[in-house]
Amino acid sequence: AQSVTQLDSQVPVFEEAPVELRCNYSSSVSVYLFWYVQYPNQGLQLLLKYLSGSTLVESINGFEAEFNKSQTSFHLRKPSVHISDTAEYFCAVSDYNNDMRFGAGTRLTVKP
């Protein structure tokens, strides 16, 4: 089965600074990759996903992630963060059978 490692449990950054949240996965088959965001005491919301095609995927609020097959990575980036981006971010990997596995999460804290 596939697995996900999120390399940082906490990432503090200042407002308007760039940020990268790192995600590596392992799998013996082709996978689909996802980033979800969770605000306190809420469910998870899809931020962006890679299913096929272009390896660079973007969200509507300025985040992007690049699928790198050779490095088995799917890092999430944003060039300039806002206070409202403070949340927990989960990387997930799924196979064709919809067996989705989540990383442990990265808590992003944006400071003024």
54's CB contacts (< 8 A; 6+ apart) are none
Determine the interface stretch with other proteins among 17-25, 57-65, 73-81, 96-104 (rule: CB under 8 A): 96-104
Of the candidate residues 67, 75, 90, 108, the single one contacting other proteins (CB under 8 A) = 90
Q: Is 54 in the site for other proteins (CB under 8 A)?
A: no
Determine the interface stretch with other proteins among 13-21, 46-54, 65-73, 76-84 (rule: CB under 8 A): 46-54
* Pick 19 or 93: Cβ nearer other proteins: 93
Residue numbers at the binding site for other proteins (CB under 8 A): 6, 9, 32, 34, 36, 41-46, 49, 51, 90, 92, 94, 96, 98, 100, 102-105
